[in-house]
Amino acid sequence: MRPEALNPLFAEVETLEGVGPKLLKPLERLGLTRVKDVAYHLPERFVSRRTIADLDEGTEGEQVIIALTAVEHRAPRPGSRGPHRVLAQDAVGNICALTWFGKAAYSAKKLLPVGELRWVAGRLDRYGDMLQIVHPDHIEVDSAGQMARLSEPVYRLAEGLTQPRVAGLVEQALARLPDLPEWIEPGQLERSGWPAWGAALQLAQECTDERARDRLAYDELLANSLALLLVKAEGRRRRGQALVGDGRLRGKLQLPFALTGAQVRSIAEIEGDMAQEAPMLRLLQGDVGAGKTVVALNAMLIAVEAGRQAALLAPTEILARQHYETLRRMLGPTGVEIALLTGRAKGRERESILMGLMDGSIQLLVGTHSIFQDTVAYRDLGLAVVDEQHRFGVAQRLALAGKGRRAPHTLAMTATPIPRSLTLAQYGEMDVSRLDELPPGRQAIDTRVIPQERMDEVVEGVARHLAGGQQAYWVCPMVNDSEVADIAAAEARYATLKERFGDDVVLVHGQLRPEIKDAAMERFASGQAKLLVATTVIEVGVDVPSATLMVIEQAERFGLAQLHQLRGRVGRGAEKSTCLLLRGGALTETGRARLALMRETQDGFRIAEEDLELRGGGELLGTRQSGEAAFRIANLDQVQRLLPVAHADARLLVDRDGGLTSERGEAARLLLYLFERDWGVQLLRGG
């Protein structure tokens, strides 16, 4: 249960004065649903203004505060979309235009009555021969109110919110901050010169105080590190089951390829972990096509050889079905019983699977989140494999781990290479194995960057490719963060290509009904359809060896890691494969460098490292693909500077006070709840 001291911060945002139904939606779009969220909604930047006596003192592009007297209102002609201008003069008679567009113009007359002096704050620009201030930030009757705005925060907004409204809500939220004990080690606090928690939040909202920002970032990193280390420590304390296989099932596998050195090494590391009574908690990082599935299968067979069951958790139904079919093929001669459980399994089919899991006749299970629901019980779960780890949070993984009679071993996998500098931030509680070499015989994918204007040539190239009996993907652009807009783009491209290629084209996106999506995927996988048009829903889990061409439209809109994942859908067979990156006209230098890197290398780990340098973390620190709330306060620079210190401090706290019962330990519990890492607290005895 959350400590009472934090209740004021976790109160709903509606408890703040002035927040009604109209404001709730824009606040929700920003993720501001509780008082705590508002208090931590830090300014993106600060506007610094200078008070000037007259317009001659100001410079174009400068933020100023100046006393002006309105002399004339010039409204647009009826029916015109022109601006509303107010001509105003300064103390020496210089004229400036104050300009409003749209509905904002309605308040101009009330704010600036002719002949009356007002203090105006805004950016001084030039329109033709006249100085102007477009949409003044503030207009006051006297100077006192403006003097407080010489430095003013600028917040990220959503439609329906204004800067003053957000600033007012932040002020209310800060007034509710409770007095909390210090959780940072005193020596660290003194060395860094950091303010106390409440003072740091106040300073970060008022000015560009780097020490205050660093302190708040450190809090977040310390909470994350502490929670992950508590998971690891609890895993070591829990009594698991030592699983030692005899090799009889693994020896029957008839693989069409030899294992790489990295695969052999990773299997040995996993086998060593599973032979211990302390439950394994290991991350298997493998680049696209590096062979994670074979490694996972070997781990699962160790569990079965030892008389236990194993379950593989996938983030989507498409990926779950893909894994099921792949594992079923590989298991052929072993006689191991495998089943697939997704949300679509109903009635007798579902009952049969549940009974098979309870009596142990089903030895391997593949499925989506359905496999750790309360209604699913295992006879003796020995290993849980979590694929695409970044899609799941620690709390979900713990729910699956709680399914065994004794704590099962856990193997998490990710095909998104994570830079070494960020591995600690995301997987601090895990041991890590890396598949850093590709299976022999894999051909390099020919990657080309082509201007969008050559679209007709690309379509002709696709036509020749399909006529040659091969298949292709066409991935549509991420128009913006709106899934609806992305789908519209995919459907528009599908319609165009269907006119040319007819029934050879199928469409897949996230809003299609599962049976329609599965039918389209089945047609493509079986070769009945030749061209698959999709959004990034195919980023992982689609394995069609005869698909040897990937077209990615407006490639500059995608992150490098995502481009690398998409490109990895081709080059999975013996045939030479090609990836065409179609780029728009307005390409930044960073965008150009990123696409050049895609041409130059297929090493996902190098791409991840360079993407980090080029983009400053992007999705790696963001929330888009994360199963947990990502870092909201700490930026990439702070992660790289402060995380090692926070991790060391967390380790010291866990080693000295594993139960967090000391004075500082109790404060650290508050920190875990504050940053919603309370799954770490729940693991503590008596937590």
Instruction: Choose from 390-394, 584-588, 609-613 the range with maximum mean pLDDT.
Output: 584-588
pLDDT of residue 569: 84
pLDDT of residue 431: 86
Handedness of CA 58, 62, 68, 70 (dihedral sign): positive
Report d(CA 39, CA 420) in Å as an integer.
Answer: 32
Among 70-84, 134-148, 186-200, 641-655, the minimum mean pLDDT is found in: 134-148
pLDDT of residue 109: 80
CA-wise closest residue to 166 among 43, 29, 22, 6: 43
pLDDT band at 609 (very low <50, low <70, confident <90, very high): confident
**C-alpha 228 chain-centroid distance:** 18
Average pLDDT over residues 262-289: 91
pLDDT tens digit sequence for 448-479: 999 989 999 999 999 999 999 999 999 987 54
CA-wise closest residue to 337 among 295, 301, 294: 301
Report all structural domains of the chain as residue ranges with CATH numbers, in order of start: 1-42+163-178 (1.10.150), 46-154 (2.40.50.140), 250-435 (3.40.50.300), 446-601 (3.40.50.300)
Percentage of residues in the chain having pLDDT higher than 70: 90
**Model confidence at 316: pLDDT above 90:** no
Handedness of CA 287, 290, 293, 296 (dihedral sign): negative
Report d(CA 240, CA 273) in Å as an integer.
Answer: 11
pLDDT of residue 108: 82
Q: Which tokens is 480 given?
A: 């913006």
Burial class of residue 658 in the structure, from the number of CB atoms within 10 Å of its CB (0-12 exposed, 13-18 middle, 19+ buried): middle
Give me the residue label for tokens 């142990």.
Answer: 360
More confident residue, 429 or 512: 512
pLDDT band at 627 (very low <50, low <70, confident <90, very high): very low
**599 φψ region: left (φ > 0), alpha (ψ -120 to 50), beta (else):** alpha
pLDDT band at 594 (very low <50, low <70, confident <90, very high): confident
pTM of the complete model: 0.69
Could you tell me the CA-to-CA distances from 158 to 31, 32, 246 in Å, in that order? 10, 11, 60
pLDDT tens digit sequence for 186-197: 999 999 999 999
pLDDT of residue 626: 36
pLDDT tens digit sequence for 301-314: 999 999 999 999 98
Report d(CA 287, CA 314) in Å as an integer.
Answer: 17
Inter-residue contact 642 to 226 (CB < 8 Å)? no
According to the 3-state scheme, what is the secondary structure of 488-525?
HHHHHHHHHHHHHHHHHEEEECCCCCHHHHHHHHHHHH
The residues, any chain, with a CB within 8 Å of residue 603's CB and separated by 6 or more, are 287
pLDDT tens digit sequence for 385-421: 998 755 556 666 666 666 666 788 999 888 777 776 6
Percentage of residues in the chain having pLDDT higher than 90: 51
Inter-residue contact 510 to 482 (CB < 8 Å)? no
What one-character-per-residue DSSP string does 264-317 give?
HHHHHHHHHHHTSSSPPEEEEEE-TTS-HHHHHHHHHHHHHHTT-EEEEE-SSH
Q: Which residues pair with 386 in a beta bridge?
A: 313, 412
